[in-house]
Structure 1
Amino acid sequence: MTYKEEFIKFMVDSGVLTFGEFTLKSGRKAPYFINCGNYKTGAQLSRLGGFYADCIKENGIEAETLFGPAYKGIPLAVAAVTSLADKYGIDCCYCFDRKEAKDHGEGGMFVGKKLEDGEKVVIIDDVMTSGKALRESLPKLKSAADVNVTAMVITVDRMEKSLDGELSAVEQAYKDFGVKVYSIVNINDIIKAIEDGIVPGTEYLESMKEYRKMYGVG
């Protein structure tokens, strides 16, 4: 299996990717659901970090520091930066933000690498629904230093129109901020994995394709 196929199977085995009928926050009725909160063991987090590292390596993403937005992005960035070193010998730094600036000790908004002008930073997050994490992270990062945000890496691109436009969250992020968002897999990869028998879910194929026709982009 390719690393993308392995990742889709990993999501299903971990209970992160499930099929059925789900009402999303947007109000849309979707035939699949992704709940990254179901990653909860050390082994799962270690494997997840490896898939982030594979995506960064395969796409030739330039990174000196991986940034994990608080709170969900923190363990993801730590797992990814560790796997980059272990799997590929790429020794990056990492940092994450606090929800509130610390006013004692070393102080400041960030923990980990002290950001510098021109530093190549990659943002690590789970999924992108509205682009909120990127929208909030960029001014925080820029307030610390004039960093170069080279990319954002997420687990799954749903390739879905936003509620108020024809672009997906990933496309909108590039249009608004010039930041390219890479995903380990996208919804087309998931559909193909079902078709190829990598994961179960053939009974949901038609509804997934219909959902794509109705809300999909790309």
Structure 2
Amino acid sequence: MVEKRQSRREAVSGHKRELILDAAKQVFAEEGLEGASLRSIAVRAGYTPAALYFHFESKEAIYAEVLKGSLASLGAAVSRAVAQAKSPALRLKAAAMSFFRFYADNPRDLDLGFYLFRGGMKPAGLGHERDEMLNAALESALRPIADGAIELGASRQRANLLMVDCFAHATGLLLLLHTGRIRMFGASAPDLMEAYVKDRIAHLSER
């Protein structure tokens, strides 16, 4: 009986936590990390601000949890794409393109990931431990790009540089895509990303 009551309490607590995170994701998407408040998150979730402290210690803790969930979804999308690829070249392409497509299809998740630059280009993180955890999750999602490059004969150093280069190229194109700036050039962001990846693979295959 005691175990059932405890299990029920845990289920209710977990449900409330998910409601808070869902509300927080909406508020952060609308107002950003700096503009959002615990009060606005609580109102959206249907709770009082004081109730939030039973689940999260601060606004930054909530933001970190929302972003952690987003990065987990990203990592799962990349893993699914890579698992279906039958060769090193296709695995590298699948990893890079699934990373790009995830954020192309989910612009709010992309915006969520750029919390470090809210309020200008001066970084303002969520605390050392949270930043390290989130950076590790992002690196894990990108790691299949480097793994594919190593399978094609690249050194670990060169593979890591390619991973960073793909990340930078993808985020630049995604910025142009979601701001509409890409139309200035009469170009397609997905086509440009795919052409870039094919070029990188060709250079690796020539070695």
Give your verdict on TM over 0.5: no
Q: TM-score, normalised by structure 1?
A: 0.29
More helix per residue: 2
More strand per residue: 1
Larger Rg: 2
Q: TM-score, normalised by structure 2?
A: 0.30
